[in-house]
Amino acid sequence: MFQTFAPNIACFIAGRVLMGLGKGISMNNGPTYIAEIAPAKVRGVMLSLWQLWYTIGAFTVYWAAYGAQKSTLDMGIWQWRIPLFVQIPIPIFIIVSMFFCPESPRWLVENDRVEEARKALAEVRFDGVDEEISDIVTAVAYEKATVKHWDKWWAPYLTLVREPSLLRRVFVVIFINIGQQISGSSSLNAYTTLIYKQVFNNDDTIFLINALSSTCSIIFTLSCTLLVDRAGRRFILMLGAFGMCLSLLVVAILGMKVPENPDGSRPYGMGVAVAAMFFLFIFFYKPSWGATVWVYTSEIFSTDVRAHGVAIGAQSQSIASTILNQFFPSFLKNCGFYTFFFFVGVNALLVIGVFFFLPETKGVPLEEIDVLFGSVSHRAHGEDVMEEKLKDNGSEHKN
């Protein structure tokens, strides 16, 4: 609302800052919450919906911008205010809906509120509540017994650095989240209009292409919802990076081989081909590095450090996007379509990185994922910790 009704640039910037703060909080906590309440068998599907709603938001804004651009009315400043205005109902809906969402059962167990956790889990499960609560309780018991200074705010960060298994996961999360941004997606999102202006002279055409792209993005993201818990995370990420690599390679080659017109513009046919390749890029990106990165980031950390691990991933995205997008306009201006060879190389490296460094997590309960990264089962060892506590309590009573 600050941005929509801003009377001056200072108020508009204040609105941007507030929106950035809200986005930072939601990026850290939203995927974490979804991962902690979703059953293992459909966890990927549930987490992919996080990216789907981002895509629906882009769809709304792009079509609003296109409508404002095409309007025959004298809209004045409302031509740019309307795309902002249509976003206002969405956070209001989210705020209201949060009152009807249960608290994270794992967070409740961490804070010794087991019965509340049982009730919260029962709201999102048909059966198996007692067994799952037992697994969570034993896993948390192990984490509390093995983590020094459990009650300190900095304890999770210390744990992430000191335990080799968790440190490996930190590097994996940084790799895939930075990879998401430097794959070409961040620059295409921010500067699609700038890129299209090199091949199209009509602003209406560019706005229409962006709006159609946002529409297709919803369909492409839905494919992740259908595949992520069937095909697995690794396959989707590798296939996505491979497809993005090929589509941007074609864009780069077109820029090399198709000569400019005498006036410096590019043939219309090249513009259509470039747009088609960007649509193909989105086809591969949305279900893989768009949605599946959030799925993987949110599920590979143990309960005690999950929120902090997701935060590291989210901030890695923000830092990578900010740095890359500062340089991309100059990169594009000086190198033209040769710029896309950089992204071709990045996506090739992403395929290799996923193949060698990411274990498959499809269908694995959160309490057992530690084993995939060379750690011990927090659930199994938590049972040992609880047995020791019972023995100690029994000894105290005898004495």
DSSP output for 334-391: HHGGGHHHHHHHHHHHHHHHHHHH----TT--GGGHHHHTT---HHHHHHHHHHHHHH
Range of the domain at 28: 24-99+165-364
> Which pTM value belongs to this model?
0.80
On whether residue 131 sits in a domain, the answer given is: no
Compute the radius of gyration of the chain from its Cα atoms.
24
The count of residues in the chain is: 399
The two three-digit tokens of residue 178, written as one number: 């930075």
pLDDT tens over the chain, length 399 residues:
778 878 888 888 888 888 888 877 887 788 888 888 888 788 888 888 887 887 888 888 888 888 887 777 777 777 778 888 888 888 888 889 989 999 999 889 988 899 999 999 999 888 888 888 988 888 888 777 776 555 676 777 888 888 889 999 999 999 999 999 999 998 888 888 888 887 787 778 888 888 888 888 888 888 877 788 888 899 999 999 999 999 999 999 998 888 777 766 778 888 889 999 999 999 999 999 998 998 899 889 887 788 889 889 988 998 999 899 888 989 888 888 899 999 999 999 999 999 999 999 988 887 788 888 887 665 555 555 556 655 555 555 555
Give the total number of structural domains in the chain: 1
On whether residue 284 sits in a domain, the answer given is: yes
On whether residue 369 sits in a domain, the answer given is: no
**Closest Cα to residue 366, out of 35, 44, 115?**
35
Q: What 3-state class would DSSP assign to 203?
A: helix
How far apart are the C-alpha atoms of 300 and 10, rounded to whole Å?
A: 41
The two three-digit tokens of residue 186, written as one number: 């961040």
Give the domain CATH number at 69: 1.20.1250.20
Cβ proximity of 317 and 177 under 8 Å: yes
On whether residue 151 sits in a domain, the answer given is: no
On whether residue 133 sits in a domain, the answer given is: no
Give the list of residues 6+ apart from residue 260 with CB closer than 8 angstroms, or none. Answer: 266
On whether residue 10 sits in a domain, the answer given is: no
On whether residue 159 sits in a domain, the answer given is: no
Distances (CA, A) of 331 to 319, 337, 345: 18, 10, 16
On whether residue 7 sits in a domain, the answer given is: no
